[in-house]
Amino acid sequence: MPSDHPSDNDIHVVLNEIRGTQERQGEMLRECHEYITGGKRVGDGIAYRLTALEHQTAKDSESRSFWMRTIGTTAVGAFITGICAIVFKSQETGHP
What would you report as the CA-atom Rg of the chain, rounded to the nearest whole angstrom?
A: 36
Tens-digit pLDDT profile for residues 29-45: 988 888 888 777 767 78
Q: Could you tell me if 59 and 51 are in contact, meaning their C-beta atoms sit under 8 angstroms apart?
A: no
- Summarised one tens digit per residue, pLDDT across range 2-31 is 566 767 788 888 999 999 999 999 999 988
* Under 8 Å between Cβ of 38 and 45: yes
Q: What is the pLDDT of residues 29-88, one digit of tens each?
A: 988 888 888 777 767 788 888 888 888 888 887 787 887 888 888 888 888 898 888 888
- Closest to 51 in 3D by CA, of 62, 43, 61: 43
